[in-house]
A and B are shown apart, each in its own frame.
Chain A
Amino acid sequence: MRSIWTVTSADEWPDPGGPCIFAAWAAGPLVKFGVVVFPGTWSDRDCGWVIDQVLGAELQYLWHKDADLKGCDCVILPGGFAYGDYLRTGAIARFAPVMEKIADFADRGGLVWGICNGFQVLCEAGLLPGALIRNSSLEFRCQWTNLVVERTDLPYTSQCGEREVIRVPISHGEGNYFADPATLSRLEQRGQVVFRYCDAGGRVTNSANPNGSMHNIAGIVNARGNVLGMMPHPERCAEVELGGTDGLKLFRSVAESAMKVLVS
């Protein structure tokens, strides 16, 4: 068991910005992120960069053939084209050996975070409802989007303000969230929509919807609140140089909540 009180050099860590819940935050790696690598995954290195170099948390890559999550506190399914996505996005990846462990982990309340292709895999695997179909433009879209954060009580969003508008880029050809009416109304009733595409002022409009997603849905969480899927890429906006730092809030949220779990 790693001790949360292990102190390494504080100089190595970026300014966390905002009040720390625990003084120990600035002192050392408190949370271990696992980043799954399927053949064809490409956001693995970007997620790894943010976790390791920007956030300063512990990073563990998980190979798709691994049958062990290696003690990770949060498992990220990153973006890419797992197995080429020639059949249907995520349709093959769900059968990877590591996915069985991830399903167990999610069952036990572990944090499972699907980003872009990872979201598609989670839907295919049945860990999240609905599906991601082709963008209504029928074109790939790589651009910045505004997202209104509708849940701030989650381990993923605790650092965000109520209905805060964050800027996060998308990069996908199939990010058009689709669900049958019953599923959709259940999601809405239970408040499982976490992120919605909006304009800079937070208004959820058609013109702010980059891919035709139902109800402008950009990200949803399961009923229990531990499995998050989102199309936008928070790992691409964790540094000023890349155009914004809103994505870092999500990584920090996970780090802090994992710490709370450890302390409690």
Chain B
Amino acid sequence: MTAQSVDERRLREVALTPGEYRAIVEELKRAPNEVELGMLGVLWSEHCSYKSSKALLRRLPSAGAAVIQGPGENAGAVNIGEGWAAVFKIESHNHPSAIEPYQGAATGVGGIIRDVIAMGARPIALLDSLRFGPQPASSHHVEGVVAGIGGYGNCIGIPTVGGEVYFEDCYANNPLVNAMCVGLVRVERLMRARAEGTGNSLMLVGADTGRDGIHGASFASLELDETSSERRPAVQVGNPFLEKCLLEACMDLAHTDAVVAIQDLGAAGLTSSVAECAGRVDGAGAHIDVARVPRRERGMTPYHVMLSESQERMLVVVERGREAEVEAIFQAWDLTSAVIGHVTDDGHLTVVDGAEKVARLPISLLTDGAPPRRLVGVAAEQPPGLDMNALPPLVDAGAALLRLLASPNLSSRRGIFRRYDHMVGDATVIPPGGDAAMLRVKGTRLGLAVTTDCNSRYCHLDPHLGAQLAVAEAARNIIATGAHPLAVTDCLNFANPDRPEVYWEMEETIAGLAHACRAFELPIVSGNVSLYNDSSGESAIYPTPVVGMVGLIDDYGKRLSAGLRGEGDFVLLIGSSQNDLGGSEYLKVEHGLVAGRPPALDLARERAVDRLVLAAAENGLLQSAHDCAEGGMLVALAECCLLGGIGVRCPAIRPEVPLRMDAAFFGESPSRFIVSLSSRAMPELQSLARRHHVEISLLGLAGGDSIQFEGQFRLPLAEIRQAWEGALT
């Protein structure tokens, strides 16, 4: 087979371009055989190689004082003190979820859990950032994905504590399922998936290998089209029970020092896990005998074995001569383990099938060989502007509030998160439903706040600003619990980057993320890119850079939640409101418009507001705190009341020109919180606010069973709750 004679159809099957094929031949100085072609195809897929995004991703900041492990490993890790490291990562499972929602979402959860386990950490929390098309047409996606997340997470016994769900037209054919996992490990026990030590054994543990998921990574690197449902066999089937046993066995590995490294088998299966593990050590290679891989079915070829994406498998690098110790640990959990090869020092991945040679490829060609794709970005068409003067004035704020709270993007998520076990582990000290969730670190007073955020409508209207707003909002969610933002993991979802306007969105988004993370001094320690989220060349998704953030509070006894706590408490708005309705839910729900620019973000002012709230929380001044986000001040205030079960009495809002009434109530200016505190704490808060140069304004007093703005509207909480909880059931 030569570059000329290779079947183009075959190339398409392994998702390689003729140019890439030529690069392979040039490097190998021969034509690759079938197995090698398949191995290179999956590892050079966008999903594994990041060939379209690598150059941009280098711009993201990843260093910081607390960072113990940045990007490049199975997950990132930060030091949280008292000898503990928090390990976390977010990853997409969009394409599989589009065609097989239940299993796609379930195996997405399973995969991200294994990434955390591979670092030696015990997973303590899951979050899921979801995007769907409008209801009810998207019901089968919503139903399947939510059931799949619950089916896996509930069974394995890791609490699902947070995430987000949004509905937009652009996700109708391309739902997004981004799963984040957070784990804990003693700093000295943090593992790295490096195939160190020539001669050390490579053991494959967990599930037997079947023919499922072959070409999954390649499939995830293509646009969806009408034939995509034929790809259903490329979606794997999850077995959370097996993964639970695998998890416990891997935790038991801590009892032995025979283990050098653990690596998850995810996209591209054995091929990528062996190559990545060896690729992290200079000059290392690996020798694999596929005949020794335990199989689920007969008739599997070496090609199948090397490319299978069967779930619930791990690669363990074990010190030579100590394999029996490790085998015994897995055996106790009734798990199969098999020595399938060993680490070499020849820099090559050699695959044999018993006595027969199957493949031999340089590790560097597999992991770093894919020629970077030089794509060109061209600014997308400017989205429609917003003429505020053409908007009819707000007539009835109360009625608008009810409509907003009943809209799919703002309604209560209880109907979803009550289907997830969010309590197992006895560590969830702030449950889902507020801003960030919080997990305590047992045996200490430390609390980890966790959240995911992204308003993709903002990103659509202005990707650079939208990405910054996503970081800012995630930080506010963390801060609203009293915790300090610590580090970020990101899941960057885009459409087809071959289209110049999409690549431009990528450039802008990543620049915005980098800018905001630098301003907040937040390192991005792990992440994932998902491209080709469009269908048959149309219905491209909005750029959706989901920001997963972890924060830390040194005493979770000082944590804050969003709900009002006491009758008579002062309810305050921290930060100032701009005359801003661009990209807002109000505009969409009340006027059917997605237009304008997202609200302006002044990062210096944002940080000042954040510092004020953190200082007030640390000094014990606050009873509650809640981020003002989608739906603006009034929706945030209603949430404070609904979550606390207490109403609020406010004098009429009389905004000063040029601030319009609708913008005052429903504008989405960032850098704002709603807090409550006892009257005694007011003087101290006022002086803190002066010191931080932050505007604070008294909204009203907590109390009663209604939300009331004197002379403007009065709504019973029961009626508001009905609207809020009625939408997503």
A residues near B (Cβ < 8 Å) are 39-40, 42-43, 45-46, 49-50, 53, 79-81, 83-86, 139-143, 169, 171, 173, 233, 235-236, 238-239, 241-243
Contact = CB atoms under 8 A, between A and B. Distances in A.
Contacts of B241: 39-40, 81, 83-86
Interface centre among B156, B426, B556 (most CB of A within 10 A): B426
A39 B334 contact: yes
Given A40-B244, A40-B245, A49-B442, A171 B425 contact: no
Contacts of B431: 243
A42 B244 contact: yes
Contacts of A143: 418
Nearest to B335: A39
B426 A49 contact: yes
A242 B239 contact: no
A39 B418 contact: no
Interface centre among A53, A236, A239 (most CB of B within 10 A): A236
Contacts of A173: 154
Interface string B241-282: 110110010000000000000000000000000000000000
B163 to A, nearest CB: 15
Nearest to B556: A241
Interface centre among B154, B239, B420, B556 (most CB of A within 10 A): B154
B239 A142 contact: no
A233 B423 contact: yes
Contacts of A50: 426
A85 B240 CA distance: 11
B66 interface: no
Given A169-B423, A242-B426, A84 B154 contact: no
A202 B125 CA distance: 34
A243 B239 CA distance: 32
Nearest to A37: B248
B428 A242 contact: yes
Given A39-B334, A142-B418, A241-B440, A236 B423 contact: yes
20 contacts: A39-B245, A40-B155, A50-B426, A84-B240, A84-B242, A86-B241, A140-B421, A142-B154, A142-B417, A142-B418, A142-B420, A142-B422, A142-B423, A143-B418, A235-B426, A236-B423, A236-B424, A238-B426, A241-B556, A241-B557
Given A39-B241, A39-B245, A142 B421 contact: yes
Interface centre among A46, A81, A86, A142 (most CB of B within 10 A): A142
Nearest to B122: A45
Contacts of B150: 140
Given A49-B426, A173-B154, A141 B418 contact: yes
A140 B154 contact: yes
Given A81-B154, A141-B419, A242-B423, 10 more contacts: A39-B244, A42-B157, A42-B424, A43-B157, A81-B155, A141-B418, A142-B423, A235-B426, A238-B426, A239-B426
B358 interface: no
B57 interface: no
B709 interface: no
Contacts of B154: 81, 140, 142, 171, 173
B429 interface: yes
B303 interface: no
Contacts of A233: 423
A83 B244 CA distance: 10
Contacts of A43: 157, 424
Nearest to A139: B419
B428 to A, nearest CB: 7
A42 B557 CA distance: 26
A211 to B, nearest CB: 12
A61 B155 CA distance: 20
Contacts of A49: 426, 442
Contacts of A235: 426
Contacts of B240: 81, 84
Interface of B: 150, 154-157, 239-242, 244-245, 248, 333-334, 417-426, 428-429, 431, 440, 442, 556-557
Nearest to A238: B426
A242 B440 CA distance: 10
Interface centre among B239, B242, B425 (most CB of A within 10 A): B425
A49 B424 CA distance: 12
Contacts of A169: 423
A39 B247 CA distance: 11
A80 B245 CA distance: 12
A142 B425 contact: no
A171 B431 CA distance: 14
A86 B240 CA distance: 10
Nearest to A43: B424
A80 B426 contact: no
B426 A140 contact: no
A74 B419 CA distance: 31
A164 B79 CA distance: 45
Contacts of A79: 424
A85 B156 CA distance: 11
Nearest to A79: B424
Contacts of A139: 419
A46 B424 contact: yes
B554 to A, nearest CB: 15
Contacts of B155: 40, 81, 84-85
A171 B424 contact: yes
Nearest to B414: A143
A140 B420 contact: yes
B373 to A, nearest CB: 43
Nearest to B334: A39
B156 A42 contact: yes
A80 B157 contact: yes
A39 B335 CA distance: 11
Contacts of B557: 241
Contacts of A86: 241
B264 to A, nearest CB: 21
A242 B156 contact: no
Contacts of B556: 241
Given A142-B420, A233-B423, A236-B423, A241 B429 contact: yes
A42 B421 CA distance: 11
A178 B248 CA distance: 33
A39 B333 contact: yes
A235 B425 CA distance: 10
Contacts of B426: 45-46, 49-50, 235-236, 238-239, 242
A240 to B, nearest CB: 10
A108 B33 CA distance: 69
Contacts of A142: 154, 417-423
A140 B240 CA distance: 16
Contacts of A84: 155, 239-242
A42 B241 CA distance: 11
Contacts of A83: 241
Interface centre among A83, A173, A235 (most CB of B within 10 A): A173
A14 B405 CA distance: 44
A213 B251 CA distance: 37
A139 B414 CA distance: 13
B430 to A, nearest CB: 10
A241 B419 CA distance: 22
B427 to A, nearest CB: 8
Nearest to B333: A39
Contacts of B424: 42-43, 46, 79, 171, 236
A238 B427 CA distance: 12
A142 to B, nearest CB: 5
Nearest to A41: B157
Nearest to B151: A140
Nearest to B415: A139
A238 B423 CA distance: 13
**Closest 10 CB pairs between A and B?**
A42-B157, A84-B241, A46-B426, A81-B155, A171-B421, A142-B421, A140-B419, A143-B418, A241-B429, A40-B241
